[in-house]
Amino acid sequence: MAFAAAPDRRYRRRHVRYQGNEPPGTIVVDTSQRYLYAVEQGGWAMRYGIGVGEEGRTLKGKATIGRKAVWPSWTPTANMIRRKPHLQQYASGVTGGPHNPLGASALYLYRGGQDTMFRLHGTNEPWTIGQAVSSGCIRLTNEDIMDLYERTPLGTTVSVI
């Protein structure tokens, strides 16, 4: 069995003081610092290390969690296949499971009732946490996305800065 490199220690999940103005229950994604905050009561948050989209491939602003899935399937978008032709082999989709790029679970970001095609999801490449490598989605370790999944109800506000 191959050993997958773990993310840098600074990206481990931690309970931290939170200085922002967002109300408890909000998720804040700080793409420049590579952290996601699940805001809690009393000035605290659960902080997760994240991998973010490549330059110019990130969602910014507000969204809501419109769907949740455990071991979700994945299909690359037409734009992804154009940019990375090797993804054509997955054009008919990849079933959920340990080899799926969306990892153990996914939270789907919606705006105005429409799927943005951006996700908060797990990864089978934990060494990419802290880096700008995705096609725009926000990656967490599989352990962290499972924790966040359990904490996050449908309709949760997500602010991506």
Q: Which active-site residues does the annotation give? A: 121, 137
Distance of alpha carbon 144 from its chain centroid, rounded?
Answer: 10
Which amino acid is residue 44, in one-letter code? W
Q: CB neighbours of 109 closer than 8 A, spacing ≥ 6?
A: 59, 63, 64, 65, 66, 115, 116, 118, 119, 120, 158
Are 118 and 139 within 8 A, CB to CB?
no
